[in-house]
Structures are given as C-alpha cells and as structure tokens.
Amino acid sequence: MTHVVDLTEAAAFRIKEMMEHNEEQGAFLRVSVNGGGCSGLSYGMSFTHEKEAADREDLQHDIPIVVAEEDAPILMGTKIDYKQSLMGGGFTIDNPNAIANCGCGSSFRTVTKQGTPENC
C-alpha cells in the first residue's frame, strides 16, 4: 500500500508526545494543504476527531492519519520528519511534487497547483 505521506520514526515520536500533552489520544493527525504562504500553498498539520467521507485514512507508527482526497495528489510521496538541533526542533516536510519552496520551508507550489501567494 502506498502512503500519501510517510512519517519517520522521529516525527511519529514527537506527534505522540504532542497528542499526549494536548490530551488528543485517539485523534487523527490531519495533514493538509492550504492556500497562502510566500509560494502559494502551505502545509497544515492538526489533530481532529472528525473523519470526512472523502478523506484517505492511513495508520503509521500507531498514528491514524487523514488526508483530504483533494490534497492527496499534491502530498503524494511527502516525507514528514522531526529534526532536533541546538537551536530547537521542528518538523521538516519533503514534498517531491513541490517545484518551488519558500525559505521558511512551509510554503510551496506544484506544477498543477499554484495556490494563492502572499507577500512575505
């Protein structure tokens, strides 16, 4: 089975910590694409207890993941990791479909989806 997004072990560990800290055990991790950002599209990750009829559902590292059907082609093959450094930590997103990325790392565009770019 092909995953829309792939969570690394480090990302899954951090997401589980966040779920516990925010009392969101049993929630889905929603990975989404929104309009905006410097390049036109931006990534979203949130916890939700609602699964929509048009969502694709997956389970990785015991984390239930949902992605809207309309976002799936844009996110297909995306790798979500968590990196820790002396300056702190954060999620990194590597999307093979992105043809342009903003310096912030959370804004992008694809060949077929331009989004709604904003001024930075």
- Interval 107-120: pLDDT, tens: 555 555 555 555 55
C-alpha count within 13 angstroms, C-beta hemisphere, residue 77: 6
Q: Name the pTM for this structure.
A: 0.80
Pairwise CA distance, residues 21 & 119, whole Å: 34
Residue 102 lies in a domain: no
- Interval 33-70: pLDDT, tens: 887 666 677 889 999 999 999 999 999 999 999 999 99
How many domains does one find in the chain? 1
Residue 42, domain CATH: 2.60.300.12
Residue 87 lies in a domain: yes
Residue 115 lies in a domain: no
**Cα–Cα distances in angstroms (integers) from residue 13 to residues 8, 9, 29, 41, in the given order:** 9, 6, 13, 26
Residue 68 lies in a domain: yes
Residue 26 lies in a domain: yes
Residue 105 lies in a domain: no
**What domain range is 13 assigned to?**
5-94
